[in-house]
Amino acid sequence: MAKEPMLKFVNVSRAMPEKRDAENRKGDFLEIYGDFISDKAEEQASRCSQCGVPYCQSHCPLHNNIPDWLRLTASGRLKEAYEVSQETNAFPEICGRICPQDRLCEGNCVIEQSGHGTVTIGTVEKYITDTAWENGWVELIKPSTERTETVGIIGSGPGGIAAADRLRRAGLQVTVYERSDRAGGLLTYGIPGFKLEKDVVMRRIEQLEKSGVEFVLNCNIGEDITFDALREKHDAVLIATGVYKSRDLQGPGAGSEGIVRALDYLTASNKVSFGDKVTEFENGELNAAGKKVVVIGGGDTAMDCVRTAIRQGATSVKCLYRRDRANMPGSQRETQNAEEEGVEFVWLSAPKGFAGNPVSGVMVQKMRLGVPDASGRQSPEVIEGADYVEDADLVIKALGFEPEELPKLWNAEGLEVTRWGTVLADFKTHETKLPGVYACGDIQRGASLVVWAIRDGREAADAIVEQVNAAASVAAE
């Protein structure tokens, strides 16, 4: 697999002279925001004051037992730290890499709150489980009893595979249906490799396969197999399909060549990093090399696009967002990373149209923030007479995602959706209005986070196990 280029390096010999060679597990260089060596992890972990009011834990969607695994790490008991960590999280090394910790555990660390800088919880979590993999402590799932009941999971993103992990542990037979050519959902084809290395995702998929989970790839439910046939085949079905309908832009020139969707752009880049031949990358359509790139949007997807474009060798990368920095939805940490890498943010700016075909520029309207709307957010208002053209030969639309119309696509009568188009399901059990059909992750809660999809998958799996247990005891009576 091709290695992602790393932009910012710190030479270990300069940063930590006394630690060079013997203890540096990954070579001569460490990425500033990435890996660190063992006793640095222990040092970080020992900064935890064991405050007794673990806001970090209550602000982690999985309620990870953070204070305990920090304490174990601080005393060098990494195997035990791993055991505690994996009790509540099926994929700790993934969350450690890509959770927006500044909004979750770390943002609520009392040391951070008192102005002394957070314990870097995510990086310690990643370190513990990476070490567990290196030492062979991550074992295959071996259920104590094999059961005959089967579960069909539609979608192999974090929600689907977290449920698969839990269901296999309970001994159920699990098949995951995935329309893409690789499993992993947005972990594989959405999130870029410089944030989440693809071998980290693939080794988890392999572990599940070797533990008995069957993956059926290139299988689009609704097309290759009907939803009804799937319900017939399995004792329970879990919908974990994510949200994939990209929000679009209107205005003159919106259909011009050179204006592309964020997910197409990121998927192409990820496929290339797997070593795949991607025609649209090779012919330049989905490749930022040598181009003036403008990304439209202010969320995490936009941040991934700008940072990917920098790595591909764009001549300039600008991010257009209609509100200001304080009101952008993306992580502040990612925005800062992007700025340090050379991305220019053009705040309070919205696209009005596009010049040229192929595109040569974005017609920009300048905005100001007006009075707050019903949600309390200030609405952007156009400043008349301040329009200008921003040069661009690649425009990437990163405006967010909505659910596909599943009931219509699947001819699934009785599968109810909310007014946002997400599948309507109980928030605790995740059961939909169709008996034996469950939903989890983005397709239930709307575009969200990996850690929430993992939690939903776990809860849905527990409810499915309860359902099959209840059915088994009725049958036994």
Ligand X SMILES: Cc1cc2nc3c(=O)[nH]c(=O)nc-3n(C[C@H](O)[C@H](O)[C@H](O)COP(=O)(O)OP(=O)(O)OC[C@H]3O[C@@H](n4cnc5c(N)ncnc54)[C@H](O)[C@@H]3O)c2cc1C
Residues that bind ligand SF4 (CB under 6 A): 60, 62, 64, 66, 89, 95-96, 99, 101, 104-105, 121-122, 125, 451
User: Closest separation between CB of residue 270 and ligand X, Å?
Assistant: 10
**In contact, 213 and 449? CB cutoff 8 Å:** no
Q: In the 3-class helix/strand/coil scheme, how is 442-470 assigned residue by residue?
A: HHHHCCCCHHHHHHHHHHHHHHHHHHHHH
- Please report how close the Cβ of residue 449 comes to ligand X at its closest, in angstroms: 4
By CB under 6 A, residue 4 contacts ligand X: no
Binding mask 445-464 for ligand X (x = CB under 6 A): ---xxxx-x-----------
Nearest to 241, CA basis, from 159, 301, 166, 183: 159
DSSP 30: E
What's the rounded Cα separation, in Å, for the pair 328 and 346? 12
From the CB of 443, what's the least distance to ligand X, in Å?
6
Q: Does 180 bind ligand X (CB under 6 A)?
A: yes
179: contact with ligand X by CB under 6 A: yes
- Residue of 30, 72, 98, 350 that binds ligand X (CB under 6 A): 98
- Binding residue (CB under 6 A) for ligand X from 54, 96, 160, 193: 160
Minimal distance, residue 371 CB to ligand X, in Å: 31
What are the tokens at 428? 């605790």
Would you count residue 304 as binding ligand X (CB under 6 A)?
A: yes
81 touches which of ligand X, ligand SF4, none (CB within 5 to 8 A by kind)? none
The C-alpha atoms of residue 259 and residue 357 are separated, in whole angstroms, by 10
Q: What is the DSSP string of 229-259?
A: HHHHH-SEEEE-----EE----STTTT-TTE
When the beta carbons of 20 and 261 are compared against ligand X, the nearer one is: 261
Look at residue 134 and give its three-state secondary structure: helix
* Radius of gyration of the chain from its Cα atoms, rounded to whole angstroms: 23
Q: Is 154 in the site for ligand X (CB under 6 A)?
A: yes
Q: At what angle do helices 198-210 and 158-169 cross, to 10 degrees?
A: 30
* Position 441 contacts ligand X (CB under 6 A): yes
Single residue of 36, 82, 127, 177 touching ligand X by CB under 6 A: 177
158 binds, among ligand SF4, ligand X, none (CB under 5 to 8 A by kind): ligand X
User: Residue 105 or 295: which CB sits closer to ligand SF4?
Assistant: 105
- Quote the least distance from Cβ 105 to ligand SF4, whole Å: 3
Pick between residue 84 and residue 443 the one whose CB is nearest to ligand SF4: 84
Distance of alpha carbon 253 from alpha carbon 84, whole angstroms: 55
Q: What does the H/E/C string look like for 398-410? A: CCCEECCCHHHHC
- Selection from ligand SF4, ligand X, none that 159 binds (CB < 5 to 8 A by kind) is ligand X
